[in-house]
Structure 1
Amino acid sequence: MEGATRRRGAALEQAILNAAADELIESGYAGLTMDRVAKRAGTNKNAIYRRWPNRAALGVAAYRQLAEVELHPPDTGDLRTDVLTMLRRINGDQSSPRGDVLRGLLAGIGDEPELLAQLQNQLGDGGLKAWLTMLVRAVARGELSAEALHPRVATVAIGLLRNEYLTQGLATVPDATIVEIVDEVFLPLLKGRERA
């Protein structure tokens, strides 16, 4: 690195997070080490420890970066198709390297309650903004009434999908289950709020 400009501040932090995210994808949380991240980022361990006290904190921060790919809600012109598309996209992501990283982190930081809470908070809203965007579009098209726009109701479908991962121990939920969540629970719930 002779002659290279020394990175500081946000540039160095971003390089470390990128390196940690790459390590998580390649080696999982179990293989994440400060040495490997430092080498990949072209820095030293002290630079990492000044920002994150341990590998668990670094792992959570790196996952946050991986997960920041915002859920862009589909806009097919039909609420059912939008919801199915969104759930199928999320379901596919669960069997991706990012899904593997999340499962490894959840298992690995169980003894770090503060970090576990951070990770759960990060996952907690279930992409509320994206779900509400889809519902607002459906209201504008006349598919739903405004009474359907409730944050708790908007994330029911993703909550049920997550429940399948947890209770069934699946990395990918069968498509028939996704269709059932949409047709038998989510859409009837939204329509039922119109009459409430």
Structure 2
Amino acid sequence: MTKRERRRGSALEDAILDAAWAELIETGYGRLTMESVAQRAATSRTVLYRRWPSLADLAVAAVRHNVRKTPVEIPDTGGLRGDLIDILLQFAKRGAGTGLVLIAQMRDYFAETGTTPADLRSRLAVGEQKWMDIILERGIARGEIDAARVTPRITALPADLLRNELLMTLRPVPRDVVIEIVDQIFLPLVSKEVATALSGRE
């Protein structure tokens, strides 16, 4: 590679993160090294350490880089049910790739850093839009759901159930399961009809 062809800036960073992700997939975090990533990316360890002070930081950056290659688009189908099904199917598709790799390959990362999958998810979500908040705000504005029923735990429920399905089966989450989460679990919890019935019992 000549000096004129030398990668710099984002091009170099993308190459490094692609290499780190490939190493994670092939060997897992437990066997990941700065040397192996540098060799795959055709650069030096010094270049890596300038950007990521630790192997854990590099691994998280590589996962984030891969996730952002398949951005989630917030749908606007005109109805809450359609929006929820669409967004959860997008997450199911992304989780079938990135999510399953994380489950299999990042166990040593959690042991080394003393963190949990929830901690990693929080780090990966930095800067992302609060897609569920946007979708639910639309549903409230359309009068589809009761705002008083929308608590932080209920807001997180559809994605949590999707992740649980992925963890328990280690397989892509099928469409019928996504629809079941929306129709049989989530929508009944936030609908105005259910809220009225529950208030009558209290």
* Alignment TM class, shorter chain as reference: 0.7 to 0.9
Cα distance between partner residues in 1 of 2:54 and 2:113? 14
Q: Which residue of 1 aligns with 2:19?
A: 19
Cα distance between partner residues in 1 of 2:189 and 2:110? 34
Using structure 1 for the length normalisation, give the TM-score: 0.76
CA offsets per residue over residues 111-162 of structure 1, 9 Å max, x none? 213465751433679x771011111122233322433444332221111122
Q: Which residue of 2 aligns with 1:104?
A: 104
Aligned residues: 192
SS across alignment from 1:163: helix
Tell me, yes or no, if the aligned pair for 2:96 and 2:173 is still in contact at 8 Å.
no
SS across alignment from 1:88: helix
Tell me, yes or no, if the aligned pair for 2:16 and 2:38 is still in contact at 8 Å.
yes
Distance change (3 Å), C-alpha of 1:64 and 1:180? same
Cα distance between partner residues in 1 of 2:182 and 2:171? 19
Unpaired stretches in structure 2, ≥5 consecutive residues: none
Question: Percent identity between the aligned chains?
Answer: 40
What's the C-alpha RMSD, in Å, of the aligned pairs?
A: 3.2
Q: Which residue of 2 aligns with 1:92?
A: 93
Q: Which residue of 2 aligns with 1:67?
A: 67
Using structure 2 for the length normalisation, give the TM-score: 0.74
Distance change (3 Å), C-alpha of 1:150 and 1:20? same
Distance change (3 Å), C-alpha of 1:62 and 1:18? same
Unpaired stretches in structure 1, ≥5 consecutive residues: none
Matches within 5 A, 1:142-161: 142-161=143-162
Distance change (3 Å), C-alpha of 1:160 and 1:187? same
Cα distance between partner residues in 2 of 1:123 and 1:11? 21
1:185 aligned onto 2:181: no
